[in-house]
Structure 1
């Protein structure tokens, strides 16, 4: 039994990840962190503590990123079993951040770091551990283009305390999750520990107070219809996929109503026909006329309707006419069969939409998960597009919605955000986790987020993060609804500076607690 004890942090990390969607067992997250903090606090050396931190992160991120294996089932470049290797490798890298958090908490706040006997875990150590997690999770979300998938705050998105994200952001809320777990540990060891009791009571009390920063009156002028075609061929397109997909989208787009203008929302990659003019002739001979595609879309619209659809932009070498790059885009099509705007995805997925160091990695046989020899290129960043009759719409494609503080053009705040996504690649685990992170962004920014996906989960998310309407995975359907218009939050004004402010306050409190205890 003693030989298995070093693997306890690995198990605790895996247990703590069960708070994320689709499981949502957030009490296990608190329990996992509570026991892990106990182990860290009593660590005998920095080497031991770093090892416990890395093993915890390995288990935590392996479970949180199990969905990464699923794309390997849908391409021929690499065998499906390699997907499980990818999960472990990704988790091994991400585990460096909990390792760093553990080392910081131990070095700064554990008496064992100074060679003193380790008494019971106190509130000061818990607060420092929360700050360490905030700092390292922020680094994870920003270093090397960032990978902030499943911030710890996402474990609380299904309960009201997630509303704190409007005031402190998801990074600071992640630290509060760690602190809540630590407070349970302190209370368990000392029933007279009143401060951690007050912290937990304050969290519960906040959850019982309605959020006042939201305007709950629906904006009836912004009426959307979300279409989810649910074609089984989405992951492995057949020769007739493009036409079959268009027919499914058209059937579910509904009928025009002169008294009820509709903004019709189609998913990421919905259109496999070109919608832009100016490409080489052979493109249209192969894929169909862009004008024809726009006319077919316009025939679905009333005089005051519009379609927002996922599409792709293409770039060609002027001399050879060979395709050299592409964009993952959103196109605006009006009832006049014209293209009224295009947004290009700015935050691309490494190894999914482009291959870093392509010449080197291709030479050793590595390929990106999405087949193809042409990389996507990024757009300039978050953008707000004004669509007559429907207001100002923020654009985020798929993965972009997970980046806290980088989802809105600060100079042109939108009325709501459109987030088309293609989650068909990610099995049953990826879509619920993706939706949960979109809910966090809605809370942070005080904006509704409307998601359209090919196979689910499509949804209208209110500014308080509540999913008002949705289409589950694996169902062909459409939903209509009016989008709520929220009010700017503290986070929308200050962004992730709030994580630094919260960290400073927590550190000051930890120092004060230790001095008062002397």
Structure 2
């Protein structure tokens, strides 16, 4: 095998990473991602040094993240404190950092592969260490879990059955392993190599099929729900004098109450009023509700010091009754760095940087997954916007809710961000066996069942309302019970199998 030429291999790895990003939404060309991973492993086995292997993974990650996260640049066009071109610098800098994780995983896989010296072992090691490093990416420095590789399985027929059994990070490892099988098949490594590398994937598919057949997911549909998407763009949301116009859109889409009870779902920070401080605002909204209706809406909550001065704010969700009574509040826990708070504020603000959301006051994080108890419905789990992307951190396992509400504001996510966000919400639904309802100002609002299937949705930038029934909650899945312990177990088993696959027959 000829030595690897860095001048050719590293640019090729970058192009493969760029191409692999089209396996995510909004294109979802998942076979392309698997083929790009196959080509990457073909380059990896030819690396001669740890640094070369690290470079291949880093350039691949740089390409994938730069293309897949291009929507972040759009956020900078909705505020005047910083120039819009800085958005592309932010995408590049974030991608430079995120690329470290696949680079580390593939370099360690290469090092283990040099010990075993079997191509099938390299594929298995790469899958195992991708699980580990992707989990690290979602955890280190508050984490950034956007676009895990496992999300590409959503469009593969029948593959969502893997999610409740193994979770996102194992699915990501299985995606790498699938790329390894393509590589081994194309290079005609031999039947034994294919069987050794393919055995973990085959066992996962069989286990998921058995679980899908035996899993008792019976349940009845619940109350009527109405999901509101007012199509209020980010530049309209905080426009001076636009409050009445924006509220009128919510009023018209909410519709007239009927005899049957409804649960009405408005987006993240749907109203500019501070509901727990403003009885008139509560009464105004409550006048839209029938006598048996309930409303969930996003709004801002302030915390005050002893002198009565606001010191922190929370991005919150409130429940409201027809009597204008608040019946619970959830405070967003996993905040967006630079969006909802400015890290190292004294230093960064001194050089002219600010957070992207309007206002100078940083948001304060809430206590974590909590529910709001809604009369006649039960416990409603809440994950506001960005929080839904963190696998294993969206449900309070001790108080399993009836469904998960994901109010969001994707209006500044460009064209690529909203479908990627929805895909990750679908993956959470499949993992947890939990219906997920999304309401966003500009889309994509959706109703997702506990299998991750999209039951109804509203297109991007289209005003409307979804009338549906609340899908049934399923029994707790294996992932709901054990969480990312399954990711650790999956990575360990793959590492053991990688070493076992290096043993030759006597």
TM class, shorter-length: over 0.9
Cα deviation 1:413-464 (Å, max 9, x = unaligned): 0011000000001111100000000011001100000000000000000111
1:335-373 alpha-carbon deviations (Å, 9 max, x no partner): 111111110001101110001111111112221112321
Indicate the residue corresponding to 1:254 in structure 2. Answer: 255
Q: 1:169 to 1:340 in 2, by over 3 A?
A: same
1:185 to 174, 183, 186: 183
Structure 1 residue 63: Cα displacement: 1.1
Cα offset, 1:5, TM superposition: 4.2
Matched, 1:144 2:141: yes
Indicate if the aligned counterparts of 1:455 and 1:473 stay in contact, CA closer than 8 A: yes
- Partners in 1 of 2:299 and 2:330 — Cα distance? 10
Aligned twin of 1:88: 92
Query: Does 2:103 correspond to 1:125?
Result: no
* TM-aligned CA deviation for residue 162 of structure 1: 2.6
Partner of residue 432 from structure 1, selected from 419, 427, 441: 419
Of the three residues 491, 494, 511, the one matched with 2:482 is: 494
The answer to whether 1:361 aligns with 2:348 is yes
Is residue 446–residue 486 contact of structure 1 (8 Å, CA) maintained in 2? yes
Query: Aligned-pair distance for 1:517?
Result: 4.8
- Whether the 8 Å CA contact 1:187–1:197 is kept in 2: the answer is no
Q: SS at 2:155's partner residue?
A: coil
Determine if contact 2:108/2:129 at 8 Å carries over to the other structure. yes
Is 2:341 the counterpart of 1:342?
A: no
1:174 partner SS? helix
Counting only pairs closer than 5 Å after superposition, residues 394-405 of structure 1 correspond to structure 2 as 394-405=381-392
Cα deviations across residues 386-414 of structure 1 (Å, max 9, x unaligned)?
A: 10111211011000000100000111000
Q: 1:141-290, aligned counterparts within 5 Å?
A: 141-159=138-156, 160-190=158-188, 192-193=191-192, 194-195=194-195, 196=197, 211-212=212-213, 213=215, 215=217, 217-220=219-222, 222-232=223-233, 234=235, 237-258=238-259, 260-277=260-277, 290=278
Measure the CA separation in 2 of the matches of 1:505 and 1:233: 46
Question: CA offset at residue 210 of structure 1?
Answer: 8.9
CA contact 2:282–2:324 (8 Å) conserved in 1: yes
Question: Is the aligned partner of 1:309 residue 2:293?
Answer: no
- Per-residue CA deviations over 1:463-516 (Å, capped at 9, x if unaligned) read 111110111111110011112221210000000000011112112211211123
Go from structure 1 to structure 2 and tell me whether the alpha carbon gap of 1:508 and 1:198 turns closer, same or farther (over 3 Å shift). closer
Structure 2 unaligned segments of length 5 or more: list them: none
Instruction: Number of aligned residue pairs: give it.
Output: 496
Does the 8 Å contact 2:25/2:419 carry over to 1?
A: yes
SS at match of 2:92: helix
In the alignment, the residues of structure 2 paired with residue 410 and residue 403 of structure 1 have an alpha-carbon distance, to the nearest angstrom, of 15
DSSP 3-state at the match of 1:219: coil
CA, structure 1 residues 495+375, in 2 after alignment: closer, same or farther (shift >3 Å)? same
Q: After the TM superposition, which of the residue ranges 263-272 and 359-368 deviates more from structure 2?
A: 359-368
Contact between 1:231 and 1:454, CA under 8 Å: does it hold in 2? yes
Q: Which residue of 1 aligns with 2:14?
A: 10
Q: Aligned partners of 2:388, 2:505: CA distance in 1, in Å?
A: 44
Higher deviation after alignment, 67-76 or 208-217: 208-217
Secondary structure class of the residue paired with 1:328: strand
Return closer, same or farther for 1:155/1:137 CA change in 2, 3 Å cut-off.
Answer: same
Q: Tell me whether 1:466 sits opposite 2:453 in the alignment.
A: yes
Contact 1:303 1:335 in 2 (8 A): yes
Residue of structure 2 equivalent to 1:282 = none
Q: Extract structure 1 runs of 4+ deviating beyond 4 A.
A: 1-5, 196-210, 233-236
How many Å separate the matches in 2 of 1:506 and 1:49?
A: 20
Q: Is the 8 A contact 1:233 1:241 kept in 2?
A: no
Distance in 2 between residues matched to 1:99 and 1:125, nearest whole Å: 15
Instruction: Note the alpha carbon deviations across 1:16-37, whole angstroms, 9 max, x for none.
Output: 1111011101111111111111
Deviation at 1:71, TM superposition (A): 0.5
The answer on whether the counterparts of 1:161 and 1:203 sit within 8 Å (CA) in structure 2 is: no
Q: Is the 8 A contact 2:407 2:440 kept in 1?
A: yes
- 1:385 Cα offset (Å): 1.7
Which residue of the partner structure matches residue 407 of structure 1? Answer: 394
Shift of the 342–139 alpha-carbon distance from structure 1 to 2, 3 Å rule, reads: same
Of 111, 132, 155 in structure 2, the residue corresponding to residue 107 of structure 1 is: 111
Q: CA–CA distance in 1 between the matches of 2:83 and 2:123?
A: 44
Q: Match of 1:285?
A: none
Q: Would you say the 8 A contact 2:72–2:414 is kept in 1?
A: no
Maintained 8 Å contact 2:128/2:491: yes
Distance 2:236 2:92 in 1: 23
SS in 2 for 1:227: strand
Say which SS state the counterpart of residue 412 (structure 2) adopts.
helix
TM-score by length of 1: 0.92
Q: Secondary structure at the match of 1:329?
A: strand
> 1:102: how far off?
1.4
User: Once superposed, what is the RMSD of the aligned Cα atoms?
Assistant: 2.0
SS of the residue aligned with 1:411? helix
Question: How far did residue 316 of structure 1 move?
Answer: 3.0
Q: Is the 8 A contact 2:17 2:64 kept in 1?
A: yes
State how far apart, in whole Å, the 2-side matches of 1:14 and 1:171 are: 21
